[in-house]
Structure 1
Amino acid sequence: MPNIASTRSASRPLRATAIAVVTLAGTAVHLPSANAAPHAVTLIADTNRDGRLSDADLPGRGSWSDGRGALVMPNLDDSADRCPTLGDNGSRLGDDALAACNDAADEQVNGARDALDLAPLRLAALPKLGPGAYGRISVNHTAAPYTRLFRRHEGGLPTPLGTDARLTADELRSGVDLALEARDLVRDPKVFDGLIDVTLEVVDGDRVTRDTARLRVAPLILTHDLLPVDRMVISDNSTTPESAERHGHDPDVPARPVEKGEKTFRGRLRAALAEAGLNDRLLEYPTGGDRWMRDQFITGYFEVPGPAGTPRRMRVLLRSSDVMPEGSTRAFPLRDAGRSAFTVLRGPGTAAVQQYDTGRVGDSERSKLWGSFSSTGNFLVAPPDKRFPAGRVLYGSDGGQAAPDPTFTQLLQAQREQSPLAVDTSWLAVGHIDEFLSFVPADTERGWAAVVADPALGTDLLRKAGASGLLREKSVLEGNHLATAGIDRALDLLADQLGLSNQDIVRVPAIFTRLEVPGYPRQDIVANRLPAIANGVATGTRTYLAPAPHSHAGPDGRDVFERATETALSAIGTRVAWVEDWDYAHAVGTVGGEIHCVTNALRDLSAAPPYWRRTTGTPLLSETD
């Protein structure tokens, strides 16, 4: 949490009909269907999503829908650890050059693990072809720049099919195994909507026959906080990103605490994770002092069907699109600490992706005045429910200047699975949605609850404890009033869009203060005066990590905010583990932050059910979109 200063374009699918004969440049063209004769041209993809190719994939292979249609993984990890961290002359790679390297950036398959990230295709054998017959494989025009075809070989790695993509009569007679590579995820559906039509055309004398299989690039699914923590990522403040690029960095080696309160914070975080049953889970990430780990990237994954019904997943780190107000250049436009997602964490099974508006680079005044709405700490995922089986992305915005990078939110919208929703956070100084909201598991019909900051509850608890001095401060009176109005508006929106009711909300005490920042374009803004309990982290093990609130001791000697929070969360089956973060996070800079701001989490993806196995929810894609 930084200081304030700081349409579908593809053609319609071929539909299953009896063999049709049309005229193409004076030649008879036969378009076979699933009911065609055994010798008809047949191109098979994993249409039924069971992780293998079989006759069960034949029906509907030329179309794609929510319930049926093949998927292909965006091949953006680094399976062979070949991506460089420095240029040939030893200079730092620019941000775009750093992000450009991945398994799909070259024209070869980088080992057996990389081969698993390609989608299998099979051309059924055509034993009755004449001696001069040949085949051509093509990809529809809009998808061609984002795909690559390979020939699969038994006992060896796939090899590029070549630009002419021609197949001989002998190859066609025995059948051909192919593999399709997706070279990127969908970023702008007006350019590429993710639908890929692979067409086999066979020429045998004056007879031309075709078949098409339609696939879709797997969407990026952002993780939600009900998934168990696999590793908790914290800032290695003693190592700069450049040092890690030049000399390497072991994320499992504990860093040397260098910041005020850092040793205490690390110790209490480690103990809290142990309380949650998560021992030895800390992962070091070099930032050079930019401790706001949640602002560097947000985690997600790609997912496709795998063998024996087990999905194959690729972890994705989506880098913040935050163009910083100081030092932004064309070569290095983004927050420097975000680079470590590529240089330290990217590797086999882990991709790193960035997306930002180049038009914002160099606009230091805008970045300075409008804050860090593009930071990934401003993005949350409401857990899955009946309407949104993969969860729903929430982010803070006022719909105008105080908003994230539009190309970043466009990328999220283009995945067409988690329906990003803007929530008005213009009343918050930094504007991040995690300053008043988080999510935990709950023993309710929904299965989870929203943890929401409540200034009225905080005020009432302090009054009853005889600690009214703070409440008489003008800035606190005004701050609580502004925050209450902003939170109420947010809850009205979540009630409308997510169906949240009072039983789905756990209110935790909070105290806000109004800030006055001369010359800043947003006024009537607030920050948490005491550590924000709502700015915590659910571990996925029924334990919620919360910042020690430092409110006031009650009659039993316990902090009254702590006692109230434990009571509220225990009622829904969630425990609380308290973490001391005042010096390391809360009291830093103009507004500070809390646990959610200074940590990130790599979640256990095996706990997420495959997104395509859904029985309810809004359609992902349909023929009429």
Structure 2
Amino acid sequence: MKRFAAATGVAVLASAIFTGAPATAAPGATILADTNRNGTADWADQAGKGRWTPNRGAIFLPNLDDDARRCKVTEEDLKNSAVEVDERLAACNDAQDDVLNGPQDAQDFAPLRTMPRNTGQDGTVSLAAGEGRYARLWVERAGTWISLGESGTLTAAELRKGARLGLEGRDVIRDKAVWNGTVTVTLETRGGRDSVQLRVAPLILQNDLKAPSKVVTSKPALPELGAGYDEFVTGLRSAMKAANLTEDALRAIPEVDRWFQDIFEPTTASMPGPNGKPHVVRVLLRSANYFPGMEWEGQYYPPSLRAAGRVAFSALRGPDVGVVQQFTTQRGPAVDDSLNSTGNYESLPPHRGHPLGRPLYGSTAERMPDPTFTTLIGSQYAEPVVIDTSWLAVGHSDETVHVIPARNPRGWTLMVADPRLALDVLRQATKDGHGSAPLFEGTSEKIKPTVDQVLANPEFLEQNETAARNIDTQLAVLTREIGLADRELVRVPVLFDQFTWQQLDAAALSASGRITHAQVEDLRDRMRAGQAPSTVYVALTAGIPNGISLGGGVFGAPDPHGPRVDGIDLFKQKTEQALKNTPVKLKWVEDWDFLHKGAGEVHCGTNAFREPTRADWWRA
């Protein structure tokens, strides 16, 4: 065991969370945790402590942050793509060792205490067999926190006075069929045996109704990747200013991979803290993007995880921010790595029957994400809503729908990409005598078809009807699961383009796009083999729902570059009309060259730390 002096802040915390000791000694062995969830461990926690339930039971945090910032990512780490390096980086956190990592580390412990009793012998405190992999016990002795590990001795003197203990979580629930998140702490003394059960806090996905405190994006690390970046970041900053976010709320991190939405998904975990205020930590779920060893242009590349995911360790992990990595290399043929990018993972806000909301992602039996990652997501707090995104080349749920605030009893609705509406706008333009208006004006596109040319292509019209039917299928699931009426949906114009496997060009979609060379090749192979749809789709005009919610109703939407009449973009106009009766305030962001041409939009190139969906989740 190692001893480490507790700082003043830890001592103050201990006095705040361990209260209510009786004036006389307890008649037998008694151990207490914060069973009634008021932030303290005292006699009021006695009832029901032996079995954790949703309504009553102590909670502990996964202590996976880096309070002392001791976990470093070196230049050598970044040069070495081996999976073993990623596993070592993921293993570094405050729960890795039996050391108090900085003065704030003990604040992540759940409080326990033994009640004073007269005894002349030592006692033991322990976790149930096998639970040491999920939690660690600590004892506070004269201002010093000491690790007991899975079990330890409490002296007779400590038992007479009443010992102050802490429980440190060492992991999250990864598969509730393997571990349901509970641990049992038992005190044994000559006077008897007593136990208390605690549960680790679930990882709750953020939802887009909550305001961000920090927005992150990439800053092109190579000049050739910077086309359109200045226009994009200028528009993003303008939208953030409209949402009253400060200049320093935006963090641009140098990175070759621009798809920050795709490399991690932020979640929060929380437990009752002193004075009734929840203690919240963030846990970033690194994407399960895994690339098997492969040959490319005569060179062999060994197995690796997505390199950009290491930014979660190198730039974002720190005090109250941890990282979880979950993936498997044992994948069936249906696993499509593009669906492992975390742009495919969103969160529906609270609604009837689901006070914490529900995860949302795209998957089918023929085209699915890493099953161990989806098991982790589904093991937290609610069954996910799963929609069919297999018809999309990228295959992410953020390509077609986005949560927005609404003036309805639920407080929110969905903005939906609607190809039929987009074609209706074009038909009305022709009817009004504006068929010669070009699409993509003001962009770097070499071919700018007119409205009449688009409408004269029956194959293109049928392709967009097919895309619309696929979106109908998604909406049938979403409206059924949420209870949304079709009239509540906010439909906005988006045109889609179709690709066959012969047309999928790895260079076009992956040089700066959301799909890597390996992912495109894999998709093409499975399309050839009939294991994926024979055609896939990407947004031809900017996918308007694929923007970023910035708080206060401000929505940073990608500029669609629809046809213009008298200087007015008809797609923008139709979107503004659709949102007229909502609290949404549109701010258009130019992302065409930087993101759209790579098969993504504003949402795909950003990520955010938002207010928790509900910090006091146990009261839900």
- Alignment-mate amino acid for residue 580 of structure 1: E
SS in 2 for 1:116: helix
Q: Which residue of 1 aligns with 2:521?
A: none
- What's the counterpart of residue 15 of structure 1? none
Structure 1 residue 529 displacement after superposition: 1.0
Deviation at 1:287, TM superposition (A): 2.2
1:160 maps to 2:147: yes
Aligned to 1:612: 618
Measure the CA separation in 2 of the matches of 1:386 and 1:260. 45
Paired with 1:410 and 1:180, the residues of 2 have a C-alpha distance of 26
2:569 aligned partner: 559
Q: Which runs of 5+ in 1 are unaligned?
A: 1-36, 240-255, 615-625
Superimposed CA distance per residue, residues 521-568 of structure 1 (whole angstroms, 9 cap, x where no aligned partner): 1313211110010111111211111011111113x5311111111121
Q: Distance in 1 between matches of 2:486 and 2:577?
A: 17
- Describe the shift of the 1:163–1:585 C-alpha distance in structure 2 as closer, same or farther (beyond 3 A): closer
Correspondent of 2:106 among 108, 115, 119: 115
- Within-5 A mapping of 1:338-377: 338-360=309-331, 370=336, 372-377=338-343
CA deviation after TM superposition for structure 1 residue 142, in Å: 3.8
Cα 1:91/1:576, change in 2 over 3 Å: closer
For residue 547 of structure 1, the aligned residue among 522, 543, 558 is 558
Structure 1 partner of 2:442? none
Partner of 2:434: none
Give the equivalent residue in structure 2 for 1:171: 158
Q: What is the match of residue 43 of structure 1?
A: 31
Q: Give the counterpart letter for 2:476 in structure 1.
A: D
In structure 2, relative to structure 1, the CA distance for the partners of 1:88 and 1:491 (3 Å cut) is closer
Instruction: Tell me which residue corresponds to 2:66.
Output: 78
Aligned equivalents of 2:484 and 2:544: distance in 1? 20
Distance apart, 1:111 and its partner CA: 2.1
Distance 2:100 2:208 in 1: 34
1:276 aligns with 2:243: yes
Superposition map of 1:493-512 within 5 A:
493-512=477-496
Shift in alpha-carbon separation, 1:495–1:333, aligned structure 2, 3 A: same
Deviates more, 1:84-93 or 1:470-479: 84-93
Superposition pairs of residues 182-201 of structure 1, within 5 angstroms = 182-201=169-188
Letter in 2 for 1:420: P
Q: Any idea what the Cα deviations from partners look like across 1:346-398, whole Å, max 9, x if unmatched? A: 011110111001325xx9x988xx45011101111011113211111110111
- What are the Cα deviations for residues 61-116 of structure 1, in whole angstroms up to 9, with x where unaligned? 11111111000000000000001213999974711111110000011111221000
Distance across 1 between alignment mates of 2:425 and 2:547: 20
Give, in angstroms, the shift of residue 478 of structure 1. Answer: 2.9
Partners of 2:551 and 2:401 in 1: how far apart? Answer: 17
Match of 1:23 in 2: none
- Which of residues 390, 398, 408 is equivalent to 2:373? 408
* Distance in 2 between residues matched to 1:101 and 1:504, nearest whole Å: 46
Could you tell me which residue of structure 2 aligns to residue 536 of structure 1? Answer: 547
TM-score by length of 2: 0.83
Q: Give me the TM-score of the superposition, normalised by structure 1.
A: 0.83
Give distance in 2, aligned partners of 1:330 and 1:38. 65
Residue-pair matches, total? 543
1:244 maps to what in 2? none
| CA shift for structure 1 position 570 | 2.6
Letter in 1 for 2:542: P
**Residue number among 146, 167, 189 corresponding to 1:180 in the alignment:** 167
Q: Aligned partners of 2:496 and 2:548: how far apart in 1?
A: 20
Task: From the superposition, tell whether residues 432 and 355 of structure 1 become closer, same or farther in structure 2 (CA, over 3 Å).
Answer: same
1:475 CA displacement: 4.7
Residue matched to 1:489? 473
| Aligned-partner Cα distance in 2 for 1:394–1:432 | 10
Q: Which residue of 2 aligns with 1:33?
A: none
**Pairwise CA distance, 1:498:** 1.4
1:473–1:326 CA distance, 2 compared to 1 (3 A): farther
CA RMSD of aligned residues (A): 2.4
CA contact (8 A) 1:78 1:351 kept: yes
Partner of 1:17: none
Cα deviation code 1:143-173 (max 9, x no counterpart): 222111111235x341112665122222211
CA contact (8 A) 1:269 1:579 kept: yes
Is 1:323 the counterpart of 2:290? The answer is: yes
- Amino acid across the alignment from 1:478: E
- Which secondary structure state, in structure 2, belongs to the residue aligned with residue 444 of structure 1? coil
**Change in CA separation of 1:586 and 1:142 when aligned onto 2, cut-off 3 Å:** same
**Which of the numbers 248, 254, 264 marks the counterpart of 2:231?**
264
Aligned counterparts, 1:214-613, within 5 A? 214-238=197-221, 258-280=225-247, 281-288=249-256, 290-324=257-291, 333-360=304-331, 370=336, 372-400=338-366, 402-415=367-380, 417-466=381-430, 467-518=451-502, 519-520=524-525, 521=527, 522-554=533-565, 556-588=566-598, 592-605=599-612, 608-613=614-619
What is the alpha-carbon distance in structure 2 between the residues aligned to residue 569 and residue 258 of structure 1?
34
Cα displacement (A) at 1:307: 0.8
Q: 1:236 to 1:135 in 2, by over 3 A?
A: same
Give the secondary structure class of the aligned counterpart of 1:468: helix
Counterpart CA distance in 2 for 1:118 and 1:338 is 28
What is the match of residue 86 of structure 2? 95
Change (3 A) 1:91 1:335: closer
CA contact (8 A) 1:286 1:337 kept: no
**8 A contact 1:270–1:279 mirrored in 2:** no
* Aligned-partner SS, 1:193: coil
Uncovered stretches (5+) of structure 2, i.e. residues with no partner: 1-24, 431-450, 503-523, 528-532
Task: Give the distance between the partners of 1:169 and 1:403, measured in 2 at CA.
Answer: 57
Output the amino acid matched with 1:610. D
Return the offset for 1:275.
1.9
Describe the SS at the equivalent of 2:618: coil
SS in structure 1 at match of 2:95: helix
